Amino acid sequence: MLIDCLVVTCSAGVQQLKLVQVVRDDVEQVLVSTTSERRSSSFNQLVVRDGDVVSVDCVAAGACPPPSVVIRLGQRDVSDLFSTSVRRSLSGQRRGMRRVQYRVFKHRRKVGGLRASITYDGLALRCLATVPGFAPLSVALQLIVFCNHS
């Protein structure tokens, strides 16, 4: 009896971390991104109006095991205002030498998500991904919140 052996190795830490806006269902606009070679934060701005849903997604790609992804607004953890999904993929041609990688998505919620407030003006919206044994990766946007005039 022949036994078919499948050996799968894990990838290293997070290879890319990005904050994106979904323009259409299948198109992402990358707002800020970093790679494992550049471990310092990138910093850009996101302009929203008071009361709008902050429509950004955080994507951590390439890690194994799946990274822990946290979203912070200033010092406050707002991860519970985002939904999480994890996708696994295998790469490599040889069956016994495949590598598994995970992509962790923190998706914005249209209802009950993070709503902009004038008190958030100037605060950093930060996405932080950590994998045990590796340095964390972080990307951030500064929120610019405009008032709504009636």
pLDDT more than 90, % of the chain = 39
Q: How many CA atoms lie within 13 A of 91 on its CB side?
A: 9
- Number of domains into which the chain is organized: 1
* pLDDT interval class at 75 (50, 70, 90): very high
pLDDT band at 27 (very low <50, low <70, confident <90, very high): low
CA atoms of 130 and 142, how far apart (whole Å): 21
What is the span of the domain harbouring residue 70? 12-146
Average pLDDT over every residue of 114-129: 94
- Is residue 103 within 8 A of residue 87, CB to CB? The reply is yes
pTM over 0.85: no
**Is 105 a member of any domain?**
yes
Q: What is the CATH number of the domain that holds 67?
A: 2.60.40.10
- 117, part of any domain: yes
Is residue 6 one of the residues assigned to a domain?
A: no
120 within 8 A of 94, measured Cβ to Cβ = no
In a domain, 23, yes or no: yes
pLDDT of 86 above 50: yes
Asked whether residue 4 is assigned to any structural domain, the reply reads no
Q: How many residues belong to the chain? A: 150
The whole-number pLDDT of residue 97 equals: 66
Choice among 12-26, 44-58, 121-135 with the minimum mean pLDDT = 12-26
Are 85 and 94 in contact by the 8 Å Cβ rule? The answer is no
SS3 67: coil
Is 3 inside any structural domain? no
Domain-located, residue 69: yes
Cα distance between residue 53 and residue 111, in whole Å:
8
Higher pLDDT, 148 or 140: 140
DSSP structure class, residue 36: T
| Chain center to CA of 76 | 17
- Average pLDDT in the 64-84 region? 93
**Residue 7, in any domain of the structure:** no
* pLDDT classification of 125: cutoffs 50, 70, 90: very high
